[in-house]
Amino acid sequence: MADTRKWWKEAVVYQIYPRSFADGNGDGIGDLIGITEHLPYLADLGVDVIWLSPIYKSPNDDNGYDISDYRDIMTEFGTMDDFDRMLERAHSLGLKIVMDLVVNHTSDEHPWFIESRSSRENPYRDFYIWKDGKDGMPPTNWQSVFSGSAWEYDEGTGQYYLHCFTKKQPDLNWDNEKVRDSVFDMMTWWCEKGIDGFRMDVISMISKDPAYPEGPATDGIYGDLIPYVANGPRVHEYLKEMNRRVLSKYDIMTVGETAGVTIDEAKKYANNEGTELGMVFHFEHVDTGATTTPILGKWGYGRPDLKKFRAIMNKWQLELEGAAWGSLYLDNHDQPRMVSRFGNDCEKYREVSAKMLATMLHMMKGTPYVYQGEELGMTNFTFTSVSDCRDVEEINAYRQYVEENKVISAEELLKCFSAMGRDNARTPMQWDDSGNAGFSAAKPWIPVNPNYKEINAKAEVSDPYSVFSYYKKLIRLRHGNDIIVYGTFEPLLTDSGDIYAYRRHLDGMTLTVACSWADHDCPCDLFESLSGDELISNYGTHKPGILQPYEARAVLSPD
């Protein structure tokens, strides 16, 4: 089926992590007033949509991904009036607002869970997943995504509840239709308020394998839970119901964060008929690279290999064609900074490699996502002590692997955090070179990256050669050229160890893109015989038959 035109296919999305974006009231924590003040900056950048990481009432065990009231705002972030003002201001600037929808689980402080755990007979008991233990052990050997068992024993009622994430994030029981009714009502409430869409947190995990089998133990104790909780037997049924009852009634954008998704599953979630979601985030390309061992899970610090990375990206580009819409991202609040991971963040190559990666991504098919600070080429942070860490994933890993099991030294694990930790993305947005990077008048909740004096928005906005100005141009190009949005994708140079190249095709025109991942000159003759317009490049002058270190070029020509 051909691509139907949709505003969200033509859009560029900017992700805000509110805690770290801008502090409007001087308490060291980002908030809604801070976001509102900086909306003109985003309008200037040219993005269409803002995805807000969760801003609902939350005790912040996982920075808002643990919600205790879906219809109220987190105390630190402000009030519902602040939200309404922000939404109005965004709309007046032509910016849409997409909310993070976290409904695989709630906080254990949500009234539903407080009721649920109060007794086995409570009407809310079945809102969550309660099971008896097995011989004094949890119901299964599943390890939670954030270390330790995925089951927590409740003394009061003598049963275990499932939490795929922290024990303060109990999983909702979607098999209970009252849960679905309650979630759909809440979604409708937000849609009626005028929001423009949802990013759905781990939405692939809402239907569990009813057999609750043991997983093969990876470290002698725990087993992986993903095979039993991701893409479960009823997930598509539930999303179709959500679509019918809520999504189809509004012209909104939806993107599912789909842990464990395969291409075949993605074709269902994001099918072109529009019966489930608009698009999904897959993880294959960001799961490649770090030298992971089964015991340490994701913790490693290896560099991604271009050949593996390209094979994954190309496969998704080709196989979704005509069947489903894709998303394009290299970083977000759960990933390290993309220039540090996939590019080269040394002084000499930081800017040029950040622009190269952006070109590679933004010229592909799918809706691109820009994570706050990415447009400045912000980099990873160097963690030298666990006291610098704020992320529950890092803190739990440190406890489990360094303090309890002693499978890795503190220095080694901190090195892994500096490469792969989620806190790399959560250091404050670097607005200017004043104290705390202009993020806050008070000491920020998480350390500022010391490189803010060189890397900051104030310096970049006025510099026509900055990473910021380059993103502005890329976004403008997408808005002005249908071929970037709707063109088909053709891989090139698929054996090259240095160059990522491809073509896009639409209506008798070809867009040729080549991006070097190397820190040295590489032969490349793709542009030699082309007569066309160079849409963008991160180098002012080219060498014939050569791509210079991290050089990127995109040329539009007739077929």
Write the DSSP string, 127-180: GB-EE--BTTB-SS-EEPTTSSBSEEEETTTTEEEE-SS-TTSPBB-TTSHHHH
Q: Which does 165 bind (CB under 5 to 8 A by kind): Ca ion, ligand GLC, none?
A: ligand GLC
Q: Which does 48 bind (CB under 5 to 8 A by kind): Ca ion, ligand GLC, none?
A: none
Rounded CA-CA distance 169/148 in Å is 13
**Least distance (Å) between residue 67 CB and ligand GLC:** 9
Q: Which does 25 bind (CB under 5 to 8 A by kind): ligand GLC, Ca ion, none?
A: Ca ion
Residue whose C-beta lies closest to ligand GLC: 65
Q: Name the residue nearer to Ca ion (CB basis): 36 or 317.
A: 36
Q: Name the residue nearer to ligand GLC (CB basis): 24 or 421.
A: 421
Give yes or no for a contact between 95 and 48, defined as CB atoms under 8 angstroms apart.
Answer: yes
Q: Name the residue nearer to ligand GLC (CB basis): 395 or 509.
A: 395
Q: Name the residue nearer to ligand GLC (CB basis): 102 or 230.
A: 102
Catalytic residue among 76, 257, 265, 345: 257
Give yes or no for a contact between 162 and 171, defined as CB atoms under 8 angstroms apart.
Answer: yes
**Least distance (Å) between residue 178 CB and ligand GLC:** 22
Phi, psi values for residue 426, rounded to 5°: -105, 0
Query: Within 22-153, where are the H helices?
Result: 32-37, 39-45, 80-92, 111-116
Task: Enter the tokens of residue 368.
Answer: 């691109």
**Least distance (Å) between residue 201 CB and ligand GLC:** 5
Strands 159-162 and 142-143: unpaired
Q: Name the residue nearer to ligand GLC (CB basis): 24 or 297.
A: 297
Q: How many CB atoms lie within 10 A of CB 387?
A: 8
Q: Which does 102 bind (CB under 5 to 8 A by kind): Ca ion, ligand GLC, none?
A: ligand GLC
Q: How many CB atoms lie within 10 A of CB 220?
A: 7
Q: Name the residue nearer to ligand GLC (CB basis): 200 or 413.
A: 200
Q: Which does 142 bind (CB under 5 to 8 A by kind): Ca ion, ligand GLC, none?
A: none
The length of the chain, given as a count of residues: 559
Task: Enter the tokens of residue 381.
Answer: 């942070």
**Least distance (Å) between residue 104 CB and ligand GLC:** 7
Residue type, position 287, single letter: D
Strands 488-492 and 552-558: unpaired
Beta bridge partners of 5: none
**Least distance (Å) between residue 50 CB and Ca ion:** 18
In sequence order, which residues have a C-beta less than 8 Å from that of residue 260 and are 6 or more positions away? 204, 205, 226, 227, 230, 231, 283
Beta bridge partners of 220: none
Rounded CA-CA distance 105/173 in Å is 9
Q: Which does 306 bind (CB under 5 to 8 A by kind): Ca ion, ligand GLC, none?
A: none
Q: Which does 334 bind (CB under 5 to 8 A by kind): ligand GLC, Ca ion, none?
A: ligand GLC
Q: Name the residue nearer to Ca ion (CB basis): 72 or 482.
A: 72
Catalytic residue among 108, 201, 265, 334: 201
Q: Which residues contact ligand GLC by CB under 6 A?
A: 62, 65, 102, 165, 201-202, 257, 333-334
Rounded CA-CA distance 393/165 in Å is 9
Q: Name the residue nearer to Ca ion (CB basis): 29 or 392.
A: 29
**Least distance (Å) between residue 211 CB and ligand GLC:** 24
Write the DSSP string, 59-71: --TTTTSS-SEEE
In three-state secondary structure terms, 554 is strand
**Least distance (Å) between residue 89 CB and Ca ion:** 17
In three-state secondary structure terms, 244 is helix
**Least distance (Å) between residue 64 CB and ligand GLC:** 9
Q: How far is CA 111 from the centre of its chain?
A: 28
Q: How many CB atoms lie within 10 A of CB 442?
A: 14
Rounded CA-CA distance 449/430 in Å is 8
Q: Name the residue nearer to Ca ion (CB basis): 25 or 451.
A: 25
Strands 56-57 and 69-73: antiparallel
Q: Name the residue nearer to ligand GLC (CB basis): 286 or 515.
A: 286
Q: Which residue has the tokens 């060189």?
A: 454
CA torsion sign for 321, 326, 328, 330 is negative
**Least distance (Å) between residue 483 CB and ligand GLC:** 32
Q: Which does 29 bind (CB under 5 to 8 A by kind): Ca ion, ligand GLC, none?
A: Ca ion
What's the maximum distance between 2 C-alpha atoms anywhere in the chain? 76
Rounded CA-CA distance 377/157 in Å is 51
Active site residue 257: yes
Q: Which residue has the tokens 């003040």?
A: 37
Rounded CA-CA distance 6/363 in Å is 18
Q: Which residues contact Ca ion by CB under 5 A?
A: 23, 25, 27, 29, 31
**Least distance (Å) between residue 541 CB and ligand GLC:** 42
Task: Enter the tokens of residue 506.
Answer: 């639409």
Task: Enter the tokens of residue 209.
Answer: 């394998």
Q: Which residue has the tokens 């991202």?
A: 329
Catalytic residue numbers? 201, 257
